[in-house]
Amino acid sequence: MNSSAEAISADADERLRRRERKVGEFVREEPLTALAIAGAAGFIFGGGANSRLGLALLTVVGRIALRGAATSFIVGLVTGEGGNRDPERAKARGGNYHKGNHVDGRTDFRDSD
């Protein structure tokens, strides 16, 4: 019984570690997007959406973000590029990725397992 609880705890710890790594990778790859998400969350939780001006601002920013996301999605569908930055998938699709570095000069900061 105790080993079962330990296995569940170890599994939960592993999932948390993977989630933290994914969040960290997202912040490194998309710092402005991460900053915008954090700012919007702070604005909403800070009570900024309670006033008419705050709600109007949130509506305008939401429309801009939605338009940008929809445009990126449509362009990705048309061009066949899903914005996938996973090196294993990039290798499988013939991507230019070598020893942790992308050809365009970006660096992959993943832990080498």
Do 57 and 9 share a structural domain? no
pLDDT at 92 over 60: no
Do 57 and 35 share a structural domain? no
Amino acid at 90: A
Judge contact between 81 and 87, C-beta under 8 A.
no
Q: Which residue has the higher pLDDT, 63 or 2?
A: 63
Domain-located, residue 113: no
pLDDT for 93: 47
Do 31 and 59 share a structural domain? no
Do 65 and 39 share a structural domain? no
Judge contact between 84 and 90, C-beta under 8 A.
yes
Domain that holds residue 3: 1-46
Across 15-29, 45-59, 69-83, 89-103, least confident range: 89-103
Closest CA to 99 of 112, 84, 83, 80: 112
Structural domain count of the chain: 2
CA 47 to chain centre: 25
